[in-house]
Structure 1
Amino acid sequence: MLNILLERLRQGHRTIAFPASLPPLPPRYRGLPILSAGPCAPGCGSCAGVCPSRALGADADGLYLDLGRCILCGACAGACPGGRVSFSGDHRLASSTREGLILRPGTRPTVTPLEPARQKLFARSLRLRQISAGGCNACEADINVLTTIVFDLGRFGIDFVASPRHADGVVVTGPVTRNMLSAVGDTFDAVPDPRVAIAVGACAISGGLFADSPETTGGATPHLPVDLFVPGCPPHPLTILDGLLRLIGLKTP
């Protein structure tokens, strides 16, 4: 026992200071995409052509990127001859609305806190039931990381529970396969009102790389009243945590 206590003292405090301060992210971390203003070359399409999830496109208003489909692979940045697409180290990717994930030059996603009634109820105690609806386990793993000593999700009053009847909302990962569609609906229906729904990862938002598969149903977006969209493939744990805290009205850097 003495050796255990000595080792614990040697290791010191492991929980990050976030949201009081932002922990350093590795240089190779690829965060919020940045689109620069300016015209594309006529008929170019180089960046859109290499995007595996068809997240990039152009319309009458110019270049846009659907962060809800983007897997942050970075292929577009290397393919754009004009350098109009780049990636920052900004972890703040979450949005309150699906439309807020459509990026254009000078825009970024934002999270609007829940309305006062739900915010007051959930700000100090938010219990969530996670639903893996056909995911590859990457998003699920990064959600699980939030419960470790490094992020310590419980210090914010947020925890994951086993039963939807004990939950305040659901967190859906995966493209929601046909086999999981009824389970997602039944689980959400079992959560008592008022409740929240959160879509984590490109698959849960849009179907991601599996959007064209007849075995998937486009993620949680078509089936649930989603309150928070957390894009990525998978999202960094800090991105998920930042979105959750903003949703319940806590300030983050």
Structure 2
Amino acid sequence: MVGLWRKILRTGRVAEPAPGRPGYGVPAVAAELGGSVQVRHVDAGSCNGCEVEIASAFGPVYDAERYGARLVASPRHADALLVTGPVTRNMAEPLRRTYDAVPGPKAVVAVGDCARNCGVFAGAYGVTGAVRDVVPVELEIEGCPPRPEAIVEGLRRLTGR
């Protein structure tokens, strides 16, 4: 046993170098995309109506994953941001930081009327503006809240399927 410990201490840590990033990245436009897209959802100040529909879009009935869209827990693993709600004053900077954390190429999808043009929250004192006022938006999905079919169709356009 002592010999094993000596060998471990002599050898030290042995690890393989980290693998490089795959060459098939997911870009912001469907022409470059052509595959799956990893999506990070960001609630920028919504009423949660859009979140219910996003959950339905990724649920067993509409199953957005079969078209290559998958929800991920970290913006560092994402190719696109799915942003809901008008951007509130408290969420403007976190949204910018989340956008910056997504590796390029990246896309932003504004989901719902509030994300597109502030909807019923337009002119409210705590609202900075629409999502496109804070970060560049590639795709907008209309509705208050949008139907799960519309969300799935938007994600299909994003993946080019």
* Smaller-chain TM-score bracket: 0.7 to 0.9
1:212 aligns with 2:123: yes
Question: Mind listing any 5+ residue stretches in structure 2 that lack a counterpart?
Answer: 1-27
- Residue 114 of structure 1 corresponds to 29
Larger of the two Rg values belongs to structure:
2
**Greater relative contact order (CA < 8 Å, ≥ 6 in sequence):** 2
Which whole-Å CA distance do the structure 2 matches of 1:234 and 1:144 have between them?
A: 12
1:239 to 143, 150, 160: 150
Q: Aligned runs of 1:1-253 on 2, under 5 Å?
A: 114=29, 116-117=31-32, 119=33, 123-250=34-161
Q: Return the letter of the residue paired with 2:29.
A: L
Report the RMSD for the aligned CA atoms in angstroms.
1.4
Which whole-Å CA distance do the structure 2 matches of 1:214 and 1:247 have between them?
A: 33
Which whole-Å CA distance do the structure 1 matches of 2:30 and 2:156 have between them?
A: 14
Question: Which stretch has the larger CA shift, 217-226 or 127-136?
Answer: 217-226
Q: Return the letter of the residue paired with 1:114.
A: V
Which whole-Å CA distance do the structure 2 matches of 1:247 and 1:126 have between them?
A: 8
Using the TM superposition, give the Cα deviation of residue 185 of structure 1 relative to its aligned residue in structure 2, in angstroms.
0.5
> Cα distance 1:225–1:168, how it changes in 2: closer, same or farther (>3 A)?
same
Which whole-Å CA distance do the structure 2 matches of 1:168 and 1:114 have between them?
A: 11
Which whole-Å CA distance do the structure 2 matches of 1:124 and 1:189 have between them?
A: 22
Cα deviation digits, residues 181-201 of structure 1 (max 9, x gap): 111110010000000000000
Which whole-Å CA distance do the structure 2 matches of 1:143 and 1:206 have between them?
A: 19
Q: Return the letter of the residue paired with 2:140.
A: F
Identical residues among aligned pairs (%): 45
Cα deviation digits, residues 179-233 of structure 1 (max 9, x gap): 1111111001000000000000011111111111121012201111101000110
Q: Return the letter of the residue paired with 2:116.
A: I
Instruction: Spell out structure 1 runs of 4+ moving beyond 4 A.
Output: none
Answer 1 or 2: which has greater helix percent: 2
Q: Return the letter of the residue paired with 2:137.
A: V
Q: 1:203 touches 1:218 (CA, 8 Å); kept in 2?
A: no
- Residue 11 of structure 2 corresponds to none
Question: Mind listing any 5+ residue stretches in structure 1 that lack a counterpart?
Answer: 1-112
The TM-score, its normalising length taken from structure 2, stands at 0.79
**What is the number of equivalent residue pairs in this alignment?**
134
